[in-house]
């Protein structure tokens, strides 16, 4: 087994990567550094762009810290750039653009949440080192002074970067008390970077998790989104559950642990859910495919698909376990949670619908579906069909290879039938053979509930028989009308 790479070697690798990345910065970045220096102000590249440079990546989000006050920054950026904006001025941030280069410049500051407030209070600082000390993690508390490209690292962020460790510049509890959202950032960066979390950080996450209650739902949601869209979301989610953060932010996920059956009559739903998430991610496609990754809707649906199980678990006579209608209960729980986290309406609707439909396929392998059942499957899924395909496939986590192969073959068959029917019938746009206007004309009735009733009859008929043609649909409609009670 190879010995671990010495820390000094890792540091040298990181430094070489940083030199290459910083050499690739646009000329406009050095230019803005000179503009501030000539005016007697300090300017430094800070945070994520510096961290990413050591990881060998060139960041397009260029964040700077400066000794200049916002009004001075605004004046200097007006002289430097083609456009500027002051939407973050109350927090000391001014943005500007020159050509394709976009920068955000923030006055040195300290910030903390006031008692009873959901927004951080901002106080301006005097030094770059002081500004870095209030950052969330040491790997984000490194800076490069401009225009000389002098590296500043007062908290050994480079060492933590080499050790792949998340540690806070100040004491972890104090840091999280100042800004509780950093608790979510710890989980997010663990997922994004694949880093471990220092023990004191983990303890502080557990102790301070209730403080997340003072942070706006929108800010919490934004961090959760970034976590889910990262390369290793499972890592961050497990950290949230282990520290109790999920009890505050995503209690439905934490509750899945309670379905563990000491008699092992059913699989571990929590572990199953995290595996389904990983398998769904593996089924995402490239940018030209039907579900380009990372796909937030698919990942949320995979994460939430079984959240109805704790409420529906029943131990049956004979030793079995059932979760009847857990998909319906789960869809309601999903909708409620995503609304509370302030997800947009379409995301809430789409994710909840996928949770509701995720069991629809089961039973296909046991008995042949009619063409009508296939049409309904496609129509009910609508624009979510490709995601439903992937969620359903990902939901198979059985270790029984024969069962897994049987499920996969059955779904292959269903997709082939969908493709064949789609060619024949344009499944994506299934409509009755007569529209509302034609129905009113045939039945000689005005617009109203009866037209909707007739429309649903014709749609059901279309599902059952496939395309009828206008004449056959007309005859069927008249027969239905004649047999309908007055």
Between CA 20 and CA 43 the distance in angstroms is: 21
Q: For residue range 138-156, list pLDDT tens digits in order.
A: 999 999 999 989 999 999 9
C-alpha distances (whole Å) from 380 to each of 80, 219, 353, 459 are: 55, 33, 9, 13
Q: Is the pLDDT of residue 448 over 90?
A: no
Beta pairing class for 321-322 and 165-166: unpaired
Q: Per-residue confidence at 1, pLDDT binned at 50, 70, 90? A: very low
Alpha carbon 103 to its chain centroid, in Å, reads: 26
279 vs 260, residue with greater confidence: 279
Structure tokens that stand for 301 in this block: 């649906």
Task: Provide mean pLDDT across the span 49-61.
Answer: 87
Residue 309 confidence (pLDDT): 92
Task: Provide mean pLDDT across the span 397-426.
Answer: 79
369 vs 7, residue with greater confidence: 369
73 vs 10, residue with greater confidence: 73
Give which of 413, 408, 390, 388 is closest to 398, Cα–Cα.
Answer: 408
Which residues contact residue 126 at a Cβ distance below 8 angstroms, ignoring those fewer than 6 apart?
Answer: 67, 108
In the CATH scheme, what is the homologous superfamily, with its name and number, of domain 7-163?
Beta Polymerase, domain 2 (3.30.460.10)
Q: Which span out of 20-34, 101-115, 360-374 was modeled with the highest average pLDDT?
A: 20-34
Residue 289 confidence (pLDDT): 92
In the chain, what percentage of residues exceed pLDDT 70?
91
Long-range contacts of 68-76 (CB under 8 A, 24+ apart): 68/36, 68/39, 68/41, 68/43, 68/105, 68/107, 69/107, 69/124, 70/94, 70/107, 72/39, 72/41, 73/105, 73/107, 76/35, 76/36, 76/39, 76/41
Q: Per-residue confidence at 265, pLDDT binned at 50, 70, 90? A: very low
Cβ 138 vs Cβ 234: under 8 Å? no
Residue 484 confidence (pLDDT): 83
Q: Per-residue confidence at 302, pLDDT binned at 50, 70, 90? A: very high
Q: Per-residue confidence at 214, pLDDT binned at 50, 70, 90? A: very high
Q: Per-residue confidence at 235, pLDDT binned at 50, 70, 90? A: very high
Q: Is the pLDDT of residue 263 over 50?
A: no
Q: Per-residue confidence at 7, pLDDT binned at 50, 70, 90? A: low
Between CA 281 and CA 391 the distance in angstroms is: 9
Q: Per-residue confidence at 16, pLDDT binned at 50, 70, 90? A: confident
Q: Is the pLDDT of residue 118 over 70?
A: no
Q: Where are the domains of the chain?
A: 7-163, 169-249, 276-429, 436-483
Task: Provide mean pLDDT across the span 358-366.
Answer: 76
Q: Per-residue confidence at 88, pLDDT binned at 50, 70, 90? A: confident
Q: Is the pLDDT of residue 116 over 60?
A: no
Q: Is the pLDDT of residue 12 over 90?
A: no
Structure tokens that stand for 367 in this block: 């008995």
Could you count the other beta carbons within 10 Å of the beta carbon of residue 39? 14
Q: Three-class SS string for the chain?
A: CCCCCCHHHHHHHHHHHHHHHHHCCCHHHHHHHHHHHHCCCCEEEECHHHHHHHCCCCCCCEEEEECCCHHHHHHHHHHHCCEEECCCHHHCEEEEEECCEEEEEEECEEEEECCCCCCEEEEECCCHHHHHHCCCCHHHCCEEEECCCEEECCCCHHHHHHHCEECCCCCHHHHHHHCCHHHHHHHHHHHHHCCEECHHHHHHHHHHHHHHHHCCHHHHHHHHHHHHCCCCHHHHHHHHHHHCHHHHHCHHHHHHHHHCCCCCCCCCHHHHHHHHHHHHHHCCECCCCCCECCCHHHHHHHHHCCCCHHHHCEECCCCCEECCCHHHHHHHHHHHHHHHCCCCHHHHHHHHHHHHHCCCCCCCCCCCCCHHHHHHHHHHHHHHHHHHHHHHHHCCCCCCHHHHHHHHHHHHHHHHHHHHHHHHHCHHHCCCCCCHHHHHHHHCCCCCHHHHHHHHHHHHHHHHHCCCCHHHHHHHHHHHHHHCCC
16 Ramachandran zone, left/alpha/beta (phi>0; psi -120 to 50): alpha
Could you count the other beta carbons within 10 Å of the beta carbon of residue 146? 23
Average model confidence (pLDDT) for the chain? Answer: 88
Q: Is the pLDDT of residue 67 over 70?
A: yes
Q: Is the pLDDT of residue 469 over 90?
A: no
CA angle 232, 234, 236 (to 5 degrees): 85
Residue 115 confidence (pLDDT): 55
Could you count the other beta carbons within 10 Å of the beta carbon of residue 97? 16
Residue 344 confidence (pLDDT): 97
Residue 178 confidence (pLDDT): 86
Write the burial class of residue 456 (CB in 10 Å: 0-12 exposed, 13-18 middle, 19+ buried): exposed
Task: Provide mean pLDDT across the span 173-191.
Answer: 94
Task: Provide mean pLDDT across the span 46-68.
Answer: 90
Task: Provide mean pLDDT across the span 108-134.
Answer: 75
Q: Is the pLDDT of residue 79 over 50?
A: yes
Q: pTM to 2 decimals?
A: 0.81
- Cα-Cα-Cα-Cα torsion 8, 11, 15, 18, nearest 10 degrees, comes to 170
- Domain spanning 169-249 has what CATH number? 1.10.110.30
Residue 271 confidence (pLDDT): 93
Q: For residue range 303-350, list pLDDT tens digits in order.
A: 999 999 998 888 778 767 778 889 999 999 999 999 999 999 999 999
């Amino acid at each position: 087994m190879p010995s671990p790479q010495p820390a000094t070697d890792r540091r040298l690798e990181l430094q070489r990567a940083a030199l290459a990345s910083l050499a690739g910065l646009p000329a406009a970045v050095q230019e803005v550094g000179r503009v501030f220096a000539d005016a007697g102000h300090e300017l430094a590249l800070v945070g994520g762009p510096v961290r990413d440079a050591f990881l060998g990546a060139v960041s397009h989000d260029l964040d700077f810290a400066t000794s200049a006050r916002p009004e001075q920054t605004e004046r200097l950026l007006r002289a430097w750039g083609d456009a500027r904006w002051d939407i973050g001025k109350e927090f000391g941030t001014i943005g500007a653009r020159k050509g394709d280069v976009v920068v955000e410049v923030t006055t040195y500051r300290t910030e903390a949440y006031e008692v009873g407030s959901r927004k951080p209070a901002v106080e301006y600082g005097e030094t770059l080192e002081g500004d870095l000390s209030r950052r969330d993690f040491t790997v984000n508390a490194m800076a490069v002074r401009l225009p000389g490209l002098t590296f500043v690292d007062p908290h050994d962020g480079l060492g933590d970067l080499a050790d792949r460790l998340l540690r806070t510049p100040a004491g972890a509890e104090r840091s999280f008390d100042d800004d509780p959202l950093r608790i979510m950032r710890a989980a997010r960066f663990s997922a994004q970077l694949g880093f471990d979390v220092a023990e004191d950080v983990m303890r502080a996450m557990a102790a301070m998790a209730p403080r997340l209650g003072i942070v706006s739902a929108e800010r919490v949601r934004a961090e959760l989104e970034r976590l889910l869209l990262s390369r290793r979301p499972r890592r961050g989610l497990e950290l949230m559950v282990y520290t109790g953060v999920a009890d505050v932010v995503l209690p439905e996920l934490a509750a899945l642990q309670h379905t563990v059956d000491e008699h092992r009559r059913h699989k571990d739903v929590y572990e199953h859910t995290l595996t389904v998430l990983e398998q769904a991610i593996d089924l995402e496609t490239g940018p030209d495919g039907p579900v380009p990754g990372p796909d937030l809707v698919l990942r949320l649906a995979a994460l939430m698909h079984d959240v109805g199980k704790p409420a529906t678990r029943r131990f049956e006579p004979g030793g079995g376990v059932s979760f009847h209608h857990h998909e319906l209960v789960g869809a309601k729980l999903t909708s409620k949670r995503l609304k509370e986290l302030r997800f947009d309406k379409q995301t809430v609707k789409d994710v909840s619908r996928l949770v509701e439909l995720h069991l629809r396929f089961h039973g296909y392998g046991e008995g042949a579906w009619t063409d009508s059942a296939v049409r309904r499957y496609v129509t009910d899924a609508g624009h979510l069909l490709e995601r439903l395909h992937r969620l359903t496939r990902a939901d198979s986590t059985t270790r029984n290879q024969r069962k897994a192969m049987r499920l996969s073959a059955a779904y292959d068959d269903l997709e082939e039938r969908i493709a064949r029917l789609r060619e024949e019938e344009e499944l994506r746009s299934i409509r009755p053979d007569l529209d509302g206007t034609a129905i009113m004309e045939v039945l000689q009735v005005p617009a109203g509930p009866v037209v909707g009733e007739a429309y649903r009859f014709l749609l059901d008929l279309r599902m059952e028989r496939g395309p009828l043609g206008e004449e056959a649909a007309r005859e069927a409609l008249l027969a239905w009308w004649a047999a309908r009670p007055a």
